[in-house]
Amino acid sequence: MERWVNRVAVVTGASSGIGAAVAKYLANNGLITVGLDLCKTGIETLRDELNAEARERIHAIQCDIRSEEQIIAAFKEIERTYGPVAVLVNNAGITRLTTLLAEDSSQDIRDVVDTNIMGAIYCTREAFRSMKANGEDGHVFLINSIVGHRVPILPNSTLNIYPSTKHAITALTEMYRQEFLNQKTNIKITSISPGIVDTSIYTEEIKKEMLNFSSLKRLKANDIADALVYCLQTPPHVQIHELIIKPMGEML
């Protein structure tokens, strides 16, 4: 991890769950870590869980990942205040209980698409610009899902737009790999696809939607942070393109 010490990492959706775990791990490993989230306070409270030295390395910017304008402004602020971006973790993601055919589903679908797909595209574009302009290596992560590779059959499901957005992330991972190479850079791209992770994305409504949720095998947010740090510390000639992580005994 030595080559990343004192370099800037950006984590979207960093106020809780996987994003919070990743932000803490990166700060503990010496990176200047900037969290982007609607809930700025949630990121700032992470400092209480770190040692004194690492606390100084976590920063928060309020940003709606659905907004291209806010993302552009946030990255300009990051570069101006902390320096060029070296690591980007596209973690922000939401889901909504709706079907694709419901007549009143337009706003819910737009929110999920804008957060899960467009937010990742805008953030990656801004991070790549910063990485390339500074002539350094870099690493972009896309937090994907196992449903981005195979859609499970769930009777009467209303989570239908979510796996569609995660399939888009799978395709984007390969397209970014090709574009990064075409731009003649040493920037890596990694998609991390967990099974069910015990985070707040699973609201009480969603738990009711998923039959026998309490009995399903689940990962912890720290499991994903561990995997991300492993990918980050690989040698410059090694690129982990896709990493699928399932809890033991998962049946999805």
The pTM of the whole model exceeds 0.85: yes
Please tell me the total count of domains within the chain: 1
252: in domain: no
Q: Which of 215, 198, 192 is nearest to 145 (CA)?
A: 192
56: in domain: yes
Please say whether the beta carbons of 192 and 231 come within 8 A. Answer: yes
**Stretches in the chain below the pLDDT threshold 70:** 154-156, 200-215, 252
250: in domain: no
168: in domain: yes
Q: What is the pLDDT of residue 77?
A: 98
Please say whether the beta carbons of 137 and 186 come within 8 A. Answer: yes
Q: What is the pLDDT of residue 204?
A: 55
DSSP secondary-structure letter at 170? H
pLDDT, tens only, 138-173? 999 999 999 999 988 766 677 789 999 999 999 999
Pick the catalytic residue from 25, 162, 176, 202.
Answer: 162
203: in domain: yes
Q: What is the pLDDT of residue 188?
A: 97
Q: What is the pLDDT of residue 207?
A: 53
pLDDT, tens only, 183-215? 999 999 999 999 888 876 655 565 555 555 555
97: in domain: yes
Please say whether the beta carbons of 102 and 124 come within 8 A. Answer: no
DSSP codes, 56-90: TTEEEEE--TT-HHHHHHHHHHHHHHT--EEEEEE
251: in domain: no
CATH number at residue 186: 3.40.50.720
199: in domain: yes
First vs last Cα of the chain: how many Å apart? 34
Q: What is the pLDDT of residue 243?
A: 97
> Which residues constitute the domain of residue 90?
2-245
Q: Is 122 among the catalytic positions?
A: no
